[in-house]
Structure 1
């Protein structure tokens, strides 16, 4: 049974490394409660937990091409959680996480009502406006990742940049998009925004 569990996680990580968002969602479900409980215990802040979780899973997604090389994914993600939690405590940031009126769910599990469909169209429009506001290089890197499905290492080779520069650009781009949406009165979960961004808009 233990072997099967390890095999399943390895397969999930392999699928995520290949850009499979359904596998990413499964991994999210596997760890989100454990991570949330840890963050709440350390910060004693209910509102902070969701914001920190966003940063953790954003890091996982941006580093997905390295997941299959990890000896222990659990140790790795909890190290990220500890670092992000300590960063929160040092800066004393209060981050309120709101969801779209549709709760977090796999796209296949969501019932698309006319109102929700309208909301998603409007959300895509706002996201595109946010993307258009990115700096030229950041927009190019973001486009290569989103539209061409290129991994950071390949983008770095194409543009003669370091892999860390590409990853930082992608992370900053997503943060700028989320900031733009917050200014428009919309704050969404990282799973929702990734699902929209990395499918045809």
Structure 2
């Protein structure tokens, strides 16, 4: 766009759909504050909100060809933002459920809520560190299966993979996680194995 020209969102979206990074930067600067505000309100974390802004706009850039046909970018952005944040919250809820199950198996109850909370946070850190070593595809399949509760055929359909490929990713993820979690006790691994049925 020409510097100093009036803001023309339809023209900007067309330029972005053609791969114009400068136009995309303009769009980002114009809308990032609103996305951050919504994400901060829903996720209750500055860091999570900043991550959400980056991930949402990355998705928009990666699917930039769609932008040429959009007449109401604000509505489109609201939908993308809402869906992304709901996915984040759903993953967190799934992870919390898994961690609470681990906690019930690993921590002797009766020691008070403080012990449970500390153990839960430590297990969360251990699990997060372990999952972070997975390849992007393994991590995506693992999270969809274990944290979102999707079946293998649903994951395959969603990602455009065969069910056998999904099974392989899960098996590879399990192998890596078993190795990574080995230092934290066999019972933790056993529970993870049961969760990965």
TM class, shorter-length: 0.3 to 0.5
Q: Answer 1 or 2: which has greater helix percent.
A: 2
The structure having more radius of gyration, on CA atoms, is: 2
Q: TM-score, normalised by structure 1?
A: 0.42
TM-score by length of 2: 0.43
Q: Which has the higher contact order (CA 8 A, sep 6+)?
A: 1
